[in-house]
Amino acid sequence: MKTDILGVAFDNIAPDEAAKLGAELAAGRKAAYVVTPNSEIVMAAGKDSALMSALNGADMVLPDGIGVVYASKILGTPLSARVPGIDFASGLMEKLSKKGGSVYLFGAKPGVAEKAAENIKAEFPGLVIAGTHDGYFDDDADIIADINEKKPDFLMVCLGAPKQELWMQKNAGGLAVGVMAGLGGCLDVFAGNVDRAPEGMQKAGLEWLYRLYKEPARIGRMARLPGILFKAAGQRMRGKSNG
Mean pLDDT (whole number) for 231-242: 79
DSSP state of 3: E
Instruction: Decide if pLDDT at 210 tops 80.
Output: no
pLDDT at 219 over 60: no
pLDDT at site 173: 96
**pLDDT-based confidence at 237, cuts 50/70/90?**
confident
Residue with the bigger pLDDT between 85 and 226: it is: 85
Please report the pLDDT score of residue 65 as a whole number: 86
* pLDDT bracket for residue 238 (50, 70, 90): confident
For every residue of 188-235, which 3-state class applies, written as one string? HHHHCCCCCCCHHHHHCCCHHHHHHHHCHHHHHHHCCCCHHHHHHHHH
d(CA 56, CA 51): 9
Model confidence over 132-176: pLDDT tens digits? 999 999 999 999 999 999 999 999 999 999 999 999 999 999 999
Residue 69 makes CB contacts below 8 A (sequence gap 6+) with: 63, 78, 79, 81, 82, 205
Exposed, middle or buried by CB within 10 Å (0-12, 13-18, 19+), for 120?
A: buried
Q: What is the pTM of this model?
A: 0.91
What's the pLDDT score for residue 149?
Answer: 98
